[in-house]
A and B are shown apart, each in its own frame.
Chain A
Amino acid sequence: MGQIATEDFQVIDSCLLIQLPEEIDHHGAGFICECADRYLVREDVRDVVFDFGRTRFMDSSGIGIIMGRYRKISCFGGRVYAIHVDRQIERIFRLSGLNKIVEVLES
């Protein structure tokens, strides 16, 4: 099952694009957070875009990933976006109140 790899992180302009794996649970969350934070520190990143295009499953660990990154960039005026969000993931966003801090972009 698709583990996340370093190719899934990309910095375009001042935006970090993260291609999320097929399943987002606690097991893989630590690695995603760690990689993302490495980019946030090293590169000149302002905003973060989470791409859910491949994602078929997510539990509350996904909320933790997004909230944690939001805390790190929001004090510098950065924003968090989500793309390719399906119905189930949108439900999880709504349920957790995450839709207030994440802007879901229709693509």
Chain B
Amino acid sequence: MRNEMEIIFDALSDNEGFARVAVAAFIAHLNPTLEEMADIKTAVSEAVTNSIIHGYENLQGYGRPGGKEEGIHKPNPGKVRLCCALEKNILSIEVIDSGKGIEDVERAMEPLYTSKPELERSGMGFAFMEAFMDDLEVESAPGQGTKVRMIKKIGVGGWIEHQC
């Protein structure tokens, strides 16, 4: 049985939490372990954050509650598309933006590399996606946006228990 969902949301940092909780809810009926759930949420969070701050370079707000410096709100922040598909217990997630794209994908995926050191981010985004998911593919070209595709098998822990 195949089950799909797709959401499109504005590329604003407020939506990072929404995106990962949406994916978590989508897979909840598979009874994933706490660890699997945390892995998936972290990977989604990394990919969506990348689209927002690198793809569209939306740096406004930056999470200041009631802040005086709300920053410049772009009238058109751009959209992030999040597509999930479940095929039995295999989850694939696509995070797609039509932002500025990545010139050198290989370099961007190096641990600790960041194109925006002034943001005090760790440069571990892609490394985390790779570590927490079973498979990661990145398609991108300058001006063409970025598509991140991740796959994870859910319930592997349960399967091992079953076999023993």
Question: Which residues of chain A have C-beta atoms less than 8 A from B53's C-beta?
Answer: 26
Contact yes or no, B49 A31, CB < 8 A: no
- Expressed in whole angstroms, the minimum distance between the Cβ of A38 and any Cβ of chain B is 13
Of the listed residues A27, A34, A63, A64, the one surrounded by the most CB atoms of chain B closer than 10 A to its CB is: A27
Select B128's contact among A1, A30, A95, beta carbons within 8 Å.
Answer: A95
**Counting CB contacts under 8 A, is B42 at the interface?**
yes
Question: Which residues of chain A have C-beta atoms less than 8 A from B127's C-beta?
Answer: 60, 95-96
Contact yes or no, A63 B124, CB < 8 A: yes
**Counting CB contacts under 8 A, is B89 at the interface?**
no
Question: Which chain A residue lies CB-closest to B121?
Answer: A64
Q: Is the interface of A mostly helix, strand, loop or mixed?
A: helix
- Expressed in whole angstroms, the minimum distance between the Cβ of B93 and any Cβ of chain A is 15
Question: Which residues of chain A have C-beta atoms less than 8 A from B49's C-beta?
Answer: 25-26, 59, 61
**Counting CB contacts under 8 A, is B13 at the interface?**
yes
Question: Which chain B residue lies CB-closest to A61?
Answer: B121
CA distance A31 to B119 in the complex (A): 12
Contact yes or no, A63 B122, CB < 8 A: yes
CA distance A81 to B25 in the complex (A): 34
**Counting CB contacts under 8 A, is A39 at the interface?**
no
- Expressed in whole angstroms, the minimum distance between the Cβ of B27 and any Cβ of chain A is 16
- Expressed in whole angstroms, the minimum distance between the Cβ of B158 and any Cβ of chain A is 18
**Which listed segment binds A: B1-9, B59-67, B145-153?**
B59-67
Contact yes or no, B38 A57, CB < 8 A: yes
**Counting CB contacts under 8 A, is B120 at the interface?**
yes
Select A68's contact among B17, B61, B120, beta carbons within 8 Å.
Answer: B120
